[in-house]
Amino acid sequence: MTNTTQWLTVCQESDLVANSGVCALVNEQQIALFKVKNAQQDQVFAISNWDPIGEANVLYRGLLCSVGEIVAVASPLYKQRFCLSSGTCLDSDEAKVKVYPVRIEQHAVQLQISQ
């Protein structure tokens, strides 16, 4: 069996809230989407909504922060910070969240998923 990847539209760009998170249900998985606006550019990130430390689907409700050049989200439960581009936990070597490739095509937010 071969793995194929495809781009799946999950919402419209207008559904995203600047410098905040929203949650989408994709193939029975909760995905946290973040639109980060700064002086240089707008960026969209997609990570698993599951907080592996707090053991709850809450990351979309976290606070965006930066650590140097790293853009992260701080979990609303125990405040561990997860890098939005790599999924690594900045406060624990043992925790990581899944990161999804994301793009904007004709105002549609699309995730790359494996099937």
Nearest to 100 by CA among 1, 16, 8, 19: 8
pLDDT at 81: 98
CA–CA gap between residue 105 and residue 6 (Å, rounded): 14
> How many Å from the N-terminal Cα to the C-terminal Cα in the chain?
10
pLDDT in tens, 25-49: 999 999 999 999 987 788 999 999 9
Q: Which parts of the chain sit beneath pLDDT 50?
A: none
- The whole-angstrom separation of Cα 97 and Cα 72 is 12
pLDDT at 64: 97
Domains delineated in the chain: 15-114 (2.102.10.10)
Q: What pLDDT score was predicted for residue 1?
A: 53
Global pTM?
Answer: 0.92
CA-CA distance, 62 to 21, in Å (whole number)? 7
What is the CA angle 59-9-81, rounded to 5?
20
Q: Which residue carries 């760009």 as its tokens?
A: 13
